[in-house]
Structure 1
Amino acid sequence: MMENLNPNSYRFDDYLKRRDSLDFYADDPMAQAVVRHYCGDLWEEVDREARSLSRKVSFRWKELAEAAALPEKRPAVEHFDAYGRRVDRIVRPLETELLEREVFSEALFSERTHPWVKLVKMFLIYQLGEACIACPVTCTEGLVALLDKFADTRELMRIRTHCKEGLDGRFAIGAQYLSEIQGGSDVPANRVEAVEEGGTWRLYGNKFFCSATHADYALVTAKPRGSDAVALFVVPSWLPADEEKRTRNGFTIDRLKWKMGTSELPTAEITFNGATAYPVGPLERGLANVVGIVLTLSRLTVGLSSAAFMTRAVREAKAYAEFREAFGQRIDRFPLVASQLAGMERTAQRTLAGAFRLYRSFLGLPDGLKGGLAADEPDEVRKLRFDVRELIMLQKITAAWDAPDVIRGAMSIFGGHGVMEDFSALPRLYRDAAVNELWEGPRNVLLTQIHRDLSRVRGWYPPAEFVGRILEGAPEGPVKELSREAEELLSGPITHPVNGETMDRARRWDRFCQRLTQLYQELALEEVDNAR
């Protein structure tokens, strides 16, 4: 046997053994406590399902996600086959395809899967990072929710079944193609045109940012010819007769985007050249339904996935800090490191508790999500619906803003190893978290929308009452302070004109929304702690 002459005998084996044996759910007492408290009488079933799934996520699926994230395995598009035919095939690694197939086989959106079970499974799956899974799962949820309300044709009902229950043993994947080059979040500025030709709707024009381009079906916004209204359509990637050969349904994939994060996820620029499309919901209500149902669900999920990213990052940072020694002692015994870890863990835990508390309110909405506020509902129901709508946006901007900070802090615990792509998943999670913040409306867009919403309803729902309801159970002092600030900040605009006064109000509005949401999250965590 050759003698090891390397004087550097330092090894990470003990750390790797500890990290790679961690079970995402079984080794997370806080996640278990959150499930036990917020899932109510169903908690035992949810807990059982979580433990079963976690054994897959924590080991096999984690390994598949890590392998698929290698730079040489990034997705590509094959525009032509060997015979010069335009095919636009998305090429992805085997690990991604296996992971996707196994995750979607969990039937997350089936009638037999309880919403709490779905939520907890999604929380565990999102701890893998994007992995070409998080976005497709979220988009499929939005597609299913819309079809549950509006599937009224044979084609739409087949698509609904394909996504929810599977066909021939395979579950379909959904996507959302909303953004155009002239306006990402400005959906009313859409120019893609829908034309009814011989009883069939067809789409023409360009979409500029289309994630999950490999999906089976996409929700697409378009304006019917001669109308300024934005309508919603479901566009199959392949029509049934062409599905086996994967011949595209009247559109081309022009190029894939080169993104900072979510690198495993194919995001493309697409041109529709007469794609067959099925209208879903009233044509004149497309914008209301995409915002009130589809984007609302996606924003709800961004908060959950941000909690998942933070949870994994803190877990691995703690495991490393308990292993690594410097200056003769473990680094988790240095007060600065211990304080940093405690702060990051607190943020991850309150974000998780807040996501579950909000989901509990979400499940309590009569008739679920709607495309806007119904004037004919009782005031109490209207207020509840408004509370949930605004909290979803508040949670989205707050959790997505906190996640990169927490993951960056976790990376710093590793020192120089924290930025090594092959040492841990944290650099990948950090990039994914940064991209996650931009999905479904970046911070400034949603801050403006929340300000506009609260200003619009103050005739029947004063800002102070909104704050009081959101923070029910909080100490009186902070509630009064935030109520007064809400009244003051809503007394003037934050969008125009650009001068010192409006910019100051805008900055204060940003800070106000962050503080309001974080206090809501702290209340949620306090609920869990008091119940333990």
Structure 2
Amino acid sequence: MSQTPAHETLATHEVMNQPAARGDLDLWGDDPALQTHAGASGADGDHLADYGAKMGTQAMRAAGRDANRHPPELVLFDAGGRRLDEVRFQPAYHALMQAGVGAGYAALPWEGAAGGHASHAAMVYLTSQVEPGVCCPMTMTYAAIPALRADTALLGEWVPKLTARAYDLEAKVLARKAGATLGMAMTEKQGGSDIRSNATRAVPEGDHYRLTGHKWFCSAPMSDGFLTLAQAEGGLTCFLVPRWLEGGRNGIHIQRLKDKLGNRANASAEIEYHGALAHRLGEEGAGVRTILEMVHHTRLDTAMAPAGLMRAALDHASHWARHRSAFQKQLIDQPLMRSVLADLALDWEGTLALGLHVARAFDGTSPRDRAFARLGVALAKFLGNKLCPGLVYEAMEVMGGMGYVEDTPLPLLYREAPLNSIWEGSGNVICLDILRTLAREPLAGEALSEELAQVAGQDARFDAALRAHMQTFPKPPGEAQARWYAESLATLLTASVLLRHAPDAVAGAYIATRLSEPRGRVAGAIGRIDTGAVLARLGGFSQ
């Protein structure tokens, strides 16, 4: 939709040296790095081109801003005092959900097309640039499907609705819905990540169970069902709890919505089960093993989302730099600014490249693919999310005071930046999981060694860094050094992916500044690199 230009000549001054409104963006067409790494991962470029063009429109970006400005509202009771336990969302939220669900965000990997998980991962990246909050319910819907394989009947009942590409927000039983979403409620006050300490009780009743207990975090509480953990007679067990029943609402009471730093468009809640009807998923006592199938897939999305946040922050910062002058020079022509932006761009492209490379393993079917996917997704999640907050802050600083006000997307991105490191295993939990995977799955370590060996001899600096890593860690270390070990491995793996698929100047700059030459601790404190080649990957730059 065309817009009448705003007045630039005001009564007191003329508006100058401010970038014009951007209009529609093409999130696929203007992102050469995404095209490179999505292609290498086997993703469906035609589908991503359509989705990227749609999500980049001015209308969709405005919907993202509106969904954040008007957060969800908890409505516990109707006017007569009857319990509702409903969350009401701003219409823009539903428009974004319809766009994502309708484009197959949750369904695509399970429809049988080649590169389904890689295409999904790229959709996470694209959606996160516009409104990251809506990713949560769609991600959990996507990730729940492999966990449902633990029960043939539940799989047959729920999966057709979860993959229907239809967003149905009505409060009605599953059989009468065109499509459905699935959430998660695992965390309790006393345990946090230690889910084995969960105290929610499950009592059998006929062919189902009744749950009683409190959940400290319930993600997307208006989902049509939730995967949850409770203590049955045989131990900690996984259950599917439907929200709606024939003839009424299930015994799920929302206590309050969490007042979160970011992710404001999405609701997160404390809930209580009051004799809630639940279906057992898997055997009693096998709850952790069952739910980990869901966690494994949500981790892919938490590895991809930071790349999207980084891309959005850098896109706004680089656009500002290209259209803003200071001291008689365009910001982008100033060598120090170019060094800062190029340094940040290396972290962004490395995070994108590694995430999509790991997504390709999710599409694989061999034991080697599965082993590498489990280890690789943990490495990608750890490193990308540690880099994301600092990158978003530096992008904010590029824009100066403008980056600190809500007229720009930078505050939204800054609030969102820490989330994916906390969700589905914080940094320490992920590092311990990396050590555990290497100890329990020898094939994972073999697959990682093969990945790193594929680029041997292509860059002497990479080869030297790999040797130095092996000398420092001839075997996986104890817990105290787990973060150093994980960071080193993830950086080496990222460099190996860039060597295979990125332009030589980009891969070489990454190796020089991350693995080889001395550098400072802040963005831009690097030696000489080809900033033009690196910045070209952002789109809109000439070398």
Q: TM-score range by the shorter chain?
A: 0.7 to 0.9
Q: Secondary structure at the match of 2:361?
A: helix
Q: Which amino acid aligns with 1:65?
A: G
CA contact (8 A) 1:467 1:483 kept: no
CA contact (8 A) 1:129 1:428 kept: no
Q: Which amino acid aligns with 2:376?
A: L
Q: Are 2:47 and 1:49 equivalent residues in the alignment?
A: yes
Of the structure 1 ranges 57-66 and 121-130, higher mean CA displacement relative to structure 2 is found in 121-130
Q: Are 2:73 and 1:76 equivalent residues in the alignment?
A: yes
Identity of aligned residues (%): 27
Query: In structure 1, what is the equivalent of residue 186 of structure 2?
Result: 178
CA contact (8 A) 1:178 1:221 kept: yes
Give the alignment partner of residue 230 of structure 2, picking from 222, 240, 256: 222
Superposition map of 1:110-121 within 5 A:
111-112=110-111, 114=113, 115=116, 116-121=118-123
CA contact (8 A) 1:418 1:426 kept: yes
Shift of 1:303: 0.9
Q: Secondary structure at the match of 1:336?
A: helix
Superposition map of 1:88-127 within 5 A:
88-108=85-105, 109=107, 111-112=110-111, 114=113, 115=116, 116-127=118-129
Aligned length: 478
Q: Are 2:156 and 1:157 equivalent residues in the alignment?
A: yes
CA distance in 2, matches of 1:479, 1:471: 8
CA distance in 1, matches of 2:351, 2:417: 14
- Quick one: structure 1 residues 462 and 328, their matched pair in 2 at CA, closer, same or farther if it must change by over 3 Å? closer
What do the CA deviations read for 1:117-152 (whole angstroms, capped 9, x no partner)?
333323211222423x111111111112222x2342
Structure 2 unaligned segments of length 5 or more: list them: 1-6, 167-174, 457-461, 506-543
Shift of 1:524: 1.2
Q: Are 2:254 and 1:253 equivalent residues in the alignment?
A: yes
CA distance in 1, matches of 2:425, 2:196: 14
- Quick one: structure 1 residues 37 and 201, their matched pair in 2 at CA, closer, same or farther if it must change by over 3 Å? same
CA contact (8 A) 1:79 1:86 kept: yes
Shift of 1:49: 1.1
Query: In structure 1, what is the equivalent of residue 522 of structure 2?
Result: none
CA contact (8 A) 2:364 2:370 kept: no
Shift of 1:388: 2.4
CA distance in 1, matches of 2:427, 2:53: 35
- Quick one: structure 1 residues 303 and 446, their matched pair in 2 at CA, closer, same or farther if it must change by over 3 Å? same
Shift of 1:12: 6.4
CA distance in 2, matches of 1:350, 1:66: 28
- Quick one: structure 1 residues 405 and 49, their matched pair in 2 at CA, closer, same or farther if it must change by over 3 Å? same
CA distance in 2, matches of 1:321, 1:531: 25
- Quick one: structure 1 residues 390 and 118, their matched pair in 2 at CA, closer, same or farther if it must change by over 3 Å? closer
CA distance in 2, matches of 1:339, 1:4: 35
Superposition map of 1:359-370 within 5 A:
359-366=359-366
CA distance in 2, matches of 1:462, 1:250: 42
Shift of 1:80: 0.9
CA distance in 1, matches of 2:402, 2:365: 46
CA contact (8 A) 2:371 2:443 kept: no
Query: In structure 2, what is the equivalent of residue 432 of structure 1?
Result: 416
Give the alignment partner of residue 476 of structure 1, picking from 463, 466, 471: 463
Of the structure 1 ranges 267-276 and 429-438, higher mean CA displacement relative to structure 2 is found in 429-438
**Runs of 4+ deviating beyond 4 Å:** 2-5, 166-169, 460-463
CA distance in 2, matches of 1:5, 1:470: 60
CA distance in 1, matches of 2:444, 2:351: 27
CA distance in 1, matches of 2:259, 2:503: 46
CA contact (8 A) 1:387 1:470 kept: no
Instruction: Tell me the TM-score normalised to structure 1 length.
Output: 0.84
Query: In structure 2, what is the equivalent of residue 9 of structure 1?
Result: 14
Query: In structure 1, what is the equivalent of residue 498 of structure 2?
Result: 525
CA contact (8 A) 1:129 1:309 kept: no
CA contact (8 A) 1:467 1:482 kept: no
Superposition map of 1:455-470 within 5 A:
455-456=439-440, 468-470=449-451
CA contact (8 A) 1:235 1:277 kept: yes
CA contact (8 A) 2:77 2:85 kept: yes
CA distance in 1, matches of 2:395, 2:502: 24
Q: Secondary structure at the match of 1:441?
A: coil
Of the structure 1 ranges 212-221 and 28-37, higher mean CA displacement relative to structure 2 is found in 28-37
What do the CA deviations read for 1:4-33 (whole angstroms, capped 9, x no partner)?
6644323466x233x333211111111112
CA distance in 2, matches of 1:365, 1:467: 17
Query: In structure 2, what is the equivalent of residue 194 of structure 1?
Result: 202
Q: Which amino acid aligns with 2:295?
A: L
CA distance in 2, matches of 1:454, 1:97: 42
Shift of 1:61: 2.1
Alpha-carbon RMSD across the aligned residues, in angstroms, is 2.4
Superposition map of 1:211-290 within 5 A:
211-224=219-232, 226-227=233-234, 229-242=235-248, 248-290=249-291
- Quick one: structure 1 residues 425 and 319, their matched pair in 2 at CA, closer, same or farther if it must change by over 3 Å? same
Instruction: Tell me the TM-score normalised to structure 2 length.
Output: 0.83
What do the CA deviations read for 1:55-103 (whole angstroms, capped 9, x no partner)?
2200132221111111xx1112111101110111101111112221232
- Quick one: structure 1 residues 181 and 169, their matched pair in 2 at CA, closer, same or farther if it must change by over 3 Å? closer
CA distance in 2, matches of 1:11, 1:284: 66
Shift of 1:480: 2.1
